[in-house]
Amino acid sequence: MTTLDERPPTTTPAELLRSTLRRHASGVVVITVPGPAGFTATSFTSVSLEPALVSFYLAAGASTAPAVRAAEAFTVHVLRREQEALARAFARSGADRFAGAQWREGPHGTPLLEGVAARLTARRTELHPVGDHLLVVGEVVAAAEVPGGEPLVHHDGAFGGFAPGAGEGPWR
């Protein structure tokens, strides 16, 4: 077993956080808001079951931050392993992220992407600046899922898949 050694004190806290979190595997989602606007995120999480709350973080200086600040609702799209190109398109800055994507406007004004593993729409209940990011919390008002398929995950700066029970390890 490998031992963990502390990093030298010359490394900045931001560098320490970034390199340490590269070891954490995360699910990949695309979050959309009216506009249309959207972005790829790995910071999505559940907050509470009663009431049904979810949250995500977005850099306060991100190009989509003004649209997120103005939005009363957002939709979270859980991506499939084969949707890496969609994740990359919504991670690009300065481009039309919706170009080539199949989507329609949902009842809450948010873009709904087609072909995803699952999606949920939430009414924004809280928005707080936290450090250099915005914390957005919302109450779930609608959800849909398509069973099966492999999720898209992000680990060590790369996209990959996860297959339960895939022998010696889940990564491929």
Q: Please, what is the average pLDDT of the chain?
A: 86
Nearest to 107 by CA among 31, 29, 34: 34
How far, in Å, CA of 167 to CA of 25, rounded? 18
Q: Is 52 helix (H, G, I), strand (E, B) or coil?
A: coil
φ and ψ at residue 98, rounded to 5 degrees: -90, -10
If you write DSSP's letter for every residue of 91-129 in order, what string do you get? H-SSS-TTTT--EEE-TTS-EEESS-SEEEEEEEEEEEE
pLDDT in tens, 60-88: 999 999 999 999 999 999 999 999 999 99
Under the banding of pLDDT at 50, 70 and 90, the label for residue 134 is very high
pLDDT in tens, 26-56: 789 999 999 999 999 988 999 999 999 999 9
Q: What is the mean pLDDT of residues 138-142?
A: 97
pLDDT of residue 59: 94
Q: What is the mean pLDDT of residues 136-147?
A: 94
Kindly report the pTM of this predicted structure: 0.84
State yes or no: pLDDT of 123 exceeds 90.
Answer: yes
pLDDT of residue 97: 94
Half-sphere exposure of 109 (CA within 13 A, CB side): 12
pLDDT of residue 147: 83
